[in-house]
């Protein structure tokens, strides 16, 4: 709408990100929106992390409050989460944005969206919930709450279109990360590593609960591995509040252990490493882009694990394996996430060139499915948002 003075009103975009991966997506979407609406002022509102703040948004409250996972972990936080849901919805109603966009974090996002069902502004969810993995009814639920969904994976479109939603495959933002462009030489020089000794990257997770569950298991795994390969070197990327947990735990590790906090250092470390031991998550795609052979592990709180085993319908959890429909990357989850199984799987990748080459070949095939066009996913997502805004205004 153009006022009488001929100047367009600022575009109001309300964004909700609930965890670090959502903050990454949100920041790239914000940049894409600035490019799409280069001739119009944009005002950003909502909940975000530091990357989105750097793009010009003030967070309603600290995003860290929403970064919880699993039944046992969430329960103690319920009173505060309910308060934040109400606060976020009320703020969105006050702002009356041109588009209300939630990014992943469905347990929080959907509850906020439900409080906005009678509002007329466009509602978009970015990162389709994994209806193909569990909770198949979520496609219908999403259709009752949102006008449009933006998917990261090509096969997700059908689930939401069948539910009567507008859906756009925008590509996976991981391809914008630079994960495949690290420098091995730079990392070795900067951190005084010995290129003749094995370098193992350890990725225990991004959430504090994940890190706490995995660190001791991973330490025991490395101790077993060092019986066959002495003088291991370890590198661990750390992020946010979980960094303190990692620092305290690794002080007593009997290995040369390097902690990196910078994203470029993380990708340089991927280029320099010989193998990775990683908690299941988006990092699996970063490892694929970096062509770093890896073993995927995951331990859950017993209550969460009990429920997950009865609800999840997938043969695999790692997206590389899902995209290829075969176990390209070894997955050792739940009761199989134990040192006596993890260590031999890592040793095989360190000693078998055939195993390494097979995994790297599978990585390349999976990575080819992550892009929808020649433009970056953040810009593709912004174009989809623009289409939704214009469909309402026309």
Query: For position 34, which CATH number holds?
Result: 3.40.50.2000
Half-sphere exposure of 83 (CA within 13 A, CB side): 7
Q: Do residues 339 and 192 share a domain?
A: yes
Q: Do residues 135 and 203 share a domain?
A: no
For every one of its 394 residues, what pLDDT tens digit does the chain have, with 9 covering 90 and above? Answer: 455 555 689 999 999 999 888 999 999 999 999 999 999 999 999 999 999 999 999 999 999 888 764 444 556 678 888 999 999 999 999 999 999 999 998 889 999 999 999 999 999 999 988 765 555 567 888 899 999 999 998 888 888 888 888 999 999 988 888 999 999 999 999 999 999 999 999 999 988 888 999 999 999 999 999 999 999 999 999 987 788 899 999 998 999 999 999 999 999 999 999 999 999 888 999 999 999 999 999 987 666 555 555 545 567 888 899 888 899 999 999 889 999 999 999 999 999 999 999 999 999 999 988 988 788 999 999 999 999 999 887 6
Q: What is the pLDDT of residue 57?
A: 97
Q: Do residues 334 and 348 share a domain?
A: yes
d(CA 15, CA 10): 16
5 in any annotated domain: no
Contacts with 107 (C-beta within 8 Å, 6 or more apart), sequence order? 74
Q: Do residues 92 and 220 share a domain?
A: no
- Secondary structure E strands in 96-170: 99-103, 122-126, 148-151, 166-169
Q: Do residues 187 and 128 share a domain?
A: no
Half-sphere exposure of 154 (CA within 13 A, CB side): 10
d(CA 308, CA 337): 15
21 in any annotated domain: yes
Q: What is the pLDDT of residue 173?
A: 85
Name the one residue in this structure whose structure tokens are 């934040």: 84
388 in any annotated domain: yes
Q: Do residues 183 and 88 share a domain?
A: no
247 in any annotated domain: yes
Q: Do residues 313 and 248 share a domain?
A: yes
Number of domains in the chain: 2
Q: What is the pLDDT of residue 316?
A: 82
Q: What is the pLDDT of residue 312?
A: 57
Q: Do residues 45 and 165 share a domain?
A: yes
d(CA 354, CA 222): 22
Q: 381 is in which domain, residue-wise?
A: 11-171+372-393
3 in any annotated domain: no
Q: Do residues 15 and 47 share a domain?
A: yes
4 in any annotated domain: no
d(CA 347, CA 226): 10
132 in any annotated domain: yes
Q: Do residues 165 and 81 share a domain?
A: yes
Q: Do residues 217 and 323 share a domain?
A: yes
160 in any annotated domain: yes
Q: Do residues 198 and 102 share a domain?
A: no
Q: What is the pLDDT of residue 12?
A: 98
Q: What is the pLDDT of residue 138?
A: 72
DSSP string for 184-195? HHHHHHHTT--T
Q: What is the pLDDT of residue 242?
A: 84
Q: What is the pLDDT of residue 394?
A: 64
d(CA 63, CA 206): 14
Burial class (CB in 10 A: 0-12, 13-18, 19+), 369: middle
């Amino acid at each position: 709408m153009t006022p009488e003075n001929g100047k367009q009103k600022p575009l109001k975009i309300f964004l909700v990100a609930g965890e670090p991966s959502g903050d990454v997506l949100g920041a790239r979407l914000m940049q894409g929106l600035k490019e799409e609406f280069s001739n119009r002022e944009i005002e950003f509102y909502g909940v975000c992390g530091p990357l989105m703040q750097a793009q010009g948004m003030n967070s309603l409250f600290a995003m860290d409050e929403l970064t919880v996972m699993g039944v046992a972990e969430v329960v103690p936080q319920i009173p505060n989460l309910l308060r934040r849901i109400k606060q976020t919805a009320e703020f969105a109603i006050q702002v009356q944005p041109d588009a209300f966009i939630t990014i992943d974090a469905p347990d929080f996002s959907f509850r906020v969206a439900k409080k906005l069902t009678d509002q007329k502004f466009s509602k978009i969810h970015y990162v389709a919930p994994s209806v193909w993995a569990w909770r198949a009814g979520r496609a219908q639920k999403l259709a009752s709450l949102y006008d449009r969904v933006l998917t990261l994976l090509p096969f997700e479109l059908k689930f939401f279109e069948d539910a009567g939603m507008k859906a756009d495959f925008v590509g996976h933002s991981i391809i914008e990360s630079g994960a495949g462009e690290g420098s091995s030489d730079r990392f070795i020089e900067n951190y005084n590593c010995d290129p003749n000794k094995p370098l193992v990257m350890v990725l225990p997770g991004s959430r504090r609960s994940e890190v706490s569950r995995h660190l001791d298991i991973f330490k025991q795994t490395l101790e077993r591995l060092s019986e066959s390969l002495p003088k291991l070197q370890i590198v661990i990327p750390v992020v946010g509040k979980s960094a303190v947990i990692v620092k305290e735990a690794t002080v007593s590790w009997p290995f040369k252990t390097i902690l990196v906090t910078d994203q470029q250092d993380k990708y340089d470390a991927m280029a320099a490493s010989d193998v990775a031991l990683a908690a299941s998550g988006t990092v699996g795609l970063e490892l694929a882009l970096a062509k770093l052979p890896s073993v995927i592990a995951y331990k859950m709180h017993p209550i969460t694990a009990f429920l997950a085993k009865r609800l999840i319908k997938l043969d695999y959890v790692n997206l590389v394996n899902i995209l290829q429909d075969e176990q390209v990357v070894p997955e050792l989850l739940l009761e199989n996430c134990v040192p006596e199984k993890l260590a031999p799987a890592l040793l095989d990748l360190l000693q078998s060139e055939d195993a390494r080459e097979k995994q790297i070949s599978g990585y390349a095939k999976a990575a080819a499915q992550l892009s929808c066009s020649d433009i970056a996913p953040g810009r593709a997502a912004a174009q989809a948002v623009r289409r939704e805004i214009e469909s309402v205004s026309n």
